[in-house]
Amino acid sequence: MSKFEKVRGMHNASLEEAYLWSHVSKFSESLLKSFSYSEIRIPVVEYTDLFKRSVGNETDIVNKEMFTFKSKSDKSLTLRPEGTAGCMRASINQGLLDSGPQRLFYSGPMYRYERPQKGRNREFFQLSAEIYGIDSVYAEIELFQIIEKIIKNYKIDDSRLEINSLGSEDDQRKFSIALQDYLKPLKNQLDKDSQNRLRKNPLRILDSKSTETQKVLRDAPKIAQFRSDDSKNKYELLKNLLDEFEITYEENENLVRGLDYYNDSVFEWKSDSLGSQNTFCAGGRYDSLSKKLGGRSSPAVGVSLGLDRLIIACKDKFSITHSKKIAVIILDDKFLAYGNNISEKIRASFPDFEVRYSGLDTNLKTQLKRANKNNFNLAIILGREEVESETYTIKDLDSGNNYEKLSLEDLISFLK
């Protein structure tokens, strides 16, 4: 029979990746909880209009990348391409926006119909944090602190933070018009994508990867010329705070982000070890989204960590210290319950240990060979003599030493 292949753009994580993955999730979630964030659980499927209205009709995500389908009752549904819109929708539905500032986090799969390559899949995973109801740029600083702690813990030492300020919605509108006026006569020198964006989403041209387009942009108007005083002040304050918190950053005036809802601060963390898909974390402020989705007006800022890329960036740098692995081995099937009994005792006394007990599935030699191959640290061997004298023989698989016929007390203190 022929084998099934995985669907294009989906990723089968290796067991090592999965281990690192759950380590990162646990670390990040407990860090977020220590900063007083609550987990919010939101669905993978939303009405398509939610993304059209929030992410924006003229963005790549909405135009080209959504997995959209009809429900049986002919409603247009979409697998979420990002979480910010769904989180805001759920928060409005649940009345969270009406009960003071909120700090929320969630994680899970996102879906975008993209060309698969290293660090770019059609199903990918994000861990996101959102702050609602805090106008102060201190909210941004708190998110920076959290992400920097994750980066430090996983030793992504080549990471760099880039920031920009897009100004208010009004500033962006004025800047877009000026950019269009400047680029229209030079349209033929732009790459194809940028030519298409010129009319409907000119800001996106700024992050074009084409060197020709970047050359044309050199003398183009800059967002800084269009920032209102309020946005200028916020941006200056943000930069001052970053200095005060000793968080290193670079300003990138071409950083625009691919979603329409952002205003003022936008930011991305990049790592060169990732190759061309080098952004592994990104976010920004989106003060107008709650009203666009029918909620009360509420300032908001959020960040999303791309877990797939984070795992690639730290895989070779961060080594996990595994818990102790213990194999319990019996030499006769009369001792099946006995073997289970001691396995349960060790699990109860040492919840961090990994205790594997397989009954009498094969002979001692093969069991020891398997334990060695799977990086077990110790084997506890139960033969007739041990069972009759209620003792335990230990083989230290790391050193090769044997410790024969220990009492239960001696076994427990040995394991300590």
Nearer to ligand ATP, 281 or 300 (CB): 281
Rank residues 91 and 121 by Cβ distance to ligand ATP and give the closer one: 121
Contact of 330 with 314, CB cutoff 8 Å: no
Nearer to ligand ATP, 258 or 339 (CB): 258
Which is it for the CA torsion 219, 223, 226, 227, positive or negative? negative
Shortest Å, Cβ 61 to ligand ATP: 7
Reduced to 3 states (helix: H, G, I; strand: E, B; else coil), residue 177 is helix
Of 32-40, 111-119, 181-189, 334-342: span binding ligand ATP (CB under 6 A): 111-119
Amino acid 333 reads: D
Pick from 279, 372, 377, 391 the residue near ligand ATP by CB under 6 A. Answer: 279
CB distance 217 to 194 below 8 Å: no
How much helix, strand and coil, in percent to the nearest 5, is found in the chain? 45, 20, 35
Q: Does residue number 58 form part of the binding site for ligand ATP (CB under 6 A)?
A: no
CB closer to ligand ATP, 130 vs 308: 308
SS3 23: helix
136-144, 234-242, 245-253, 305-313 -> range binding ligand ATP (CB under 6 A): 305-313
> What is the closest distance, in whole angstroms, from the C-beta atom of residue 304 to ligand ATP in the complex?
4
- Minimum Å gap between C-beta 364 and ligand ATP is 47
In the list 78, 121, 201, 265, the residue contacting ligand ATP (rule: CB under 6 A) is 121
Q: How far is the CB of 320 from ligand ATP (least distance, A)?
A: 21
From CA 241, how far away is CA 235, in angstroms rounded?
Answer: 10
82 binds ligand ATP (CB under 6 A): yes
CB of 381 to ligand ATP, least distance (A): 47
In order, the DSSP letters of 318-357 are ----PPPEEEEEESSGGGHHHHHHHHHHHHHH-TTSEEEE
Q: Is 52 in the site for ligand ATP (CB under 6 A)?
A: no
CA-to-CA distance for 363 and 249, rounded, in angstroms?
Answer: 60
Q: Are strands 67-70 and 45-47 parallel, antiparallel or unpaired?
A: unpaired
Pick 292 or 325: Cβ nearer ligand ATP: 292
Residue 277 makes contact with ligand ATP by CB under 6 A: yes
Exactly one of 105, 106, 124, 392 binds ligand ATP (CB under 6 A); that residue is: 124
Using an 8 Å Cβ cutoff, are 109 and 211 in contact?
no
Query: Per rule CB under 6 A, is residue 48 in the interface with ligand ATP?
Result: no
- By CB under 6 A, tell whether 111 contacts ligand ATP: no
Phi then psi for 210, rounded to 5 degrees? -70, 130
Q: Are 291 and 297 in contact (CB under 8 A)?
A: yes
Answer for which of 28, 304, 367, 393 binds ligand ATP (CB under 6 A) is 304
* Position 306 contacts ligand ATP (CB under 6 A): yes
Q: For ligand ATP, what does the binding mask look like between residues 158 and 187, x meaning CB under 6 A?
A: ------------------------------
Binding track over 221-260 against ligand ATP, x by CB under 6 A: ------------------------------------xx--
Q: Does 63 bind ligand ATP (CB under 6 A)?
A: no
Q: How many residues bind ligand ATP (CB under 6 A)?
A: 19
184 secondary structure, DSSP code:
G
Question: What one-character DSSP code corresponds to residue 264?
Answer: E
Return d(Cα 190, Cα 205) in angstroms, integer: 9
Q: For residues 202-233, b (16+ Cβ closer than 10 Å) or e, as one string?
A: bbbbbbbebeebeebbeebbebeebbeeebee
Secondary structure class of 125 (helix, strand, coil):
strand
Does position 28 bind ligand ATP by CB under 6 A?
no
Closest alpha carbon to 127 in 78, 68, 84, 77: 84
Closest to ligand ATP by CB, 275 or 294: 275
CB neighbourhood size of 86 (10 A): 22
Nearer to ligand ATP, 124 or 357 (CB): 124
- Does 345 bind ligand ATP (CB under 6 A)? Our answer is no
Torsion angles phi and psi, residue 227, rounded to 5: -70, 130
Q: Which is nearer to ligand ATP, 281 or 329 (CB)?
A: 281
- Nearby residues of 44 by Cβ (< 8 Å), 6 or more positions away: 79, 80, 108, 109, 111
Which pair of tokens denotes residue 72? Answer: 């049986």
Asked if residue 382 binds ligand ATP (CB under 6 A), the reply is no
The verdict on 280 binding ligand ATP (CB under 6 A) reads: yes
> Which parts of this chain interact with ligand ATP (CB under 6 A)?
82, 112, 114, 119-121, 124, 126, 257-258, 277, 279-282, 304, 306, 308-309
